Amino acid sequence: MLGNAARKMTRGEIERELKILIIDALKLDETTPDDIENDAPLVDAGIGLDSIDVLELAMAVHRRFGVTSQGDDATNQRIYASVGSLADFLEREQAGGATLAPNES
């Protein structure tokens, strides 16, 4: 019986947490979660993140969710392409056993 198993985050919760994490980690003070489209590019024309921002975001994702991407540059570019692609990655990690409990603060 799995009575002690942690509740899995829904897709909507993951996306919302990611948007808040992007805003907080990158100090986008003028941005709200509703301003960030799930499929908008995170780099260049979208939110406008550069390679240093993406590295900071990757570290924030690791601290918040406890997961890291171990892929090559092309894989990481796909993972960090948008909130939606990052949520896809986190959903796969969760399905593989990672615990992505919602932030209770």
If one counts the domains in the chain, the total is: 1
Ramachandran angles phi, psi of 26, nearest 5°? -105, 5
In a domain, 2, yes or no: no
Instruction: For residue 57, give the H/E element and its range.
Output: helix 51-65
CATH number of the structural domain spanning residue 71: 1.10.1200.10
pLDDT tens, the chain, 105 aa long: 444 456 789 999 999 999 999 999 999 999 999 999 999 999 977 788 998 999 999 999 999 998 988 778 889 999 999 999 999 999 999 999 888 865 554
Whether 1 is covered by a domain: the verdict is no
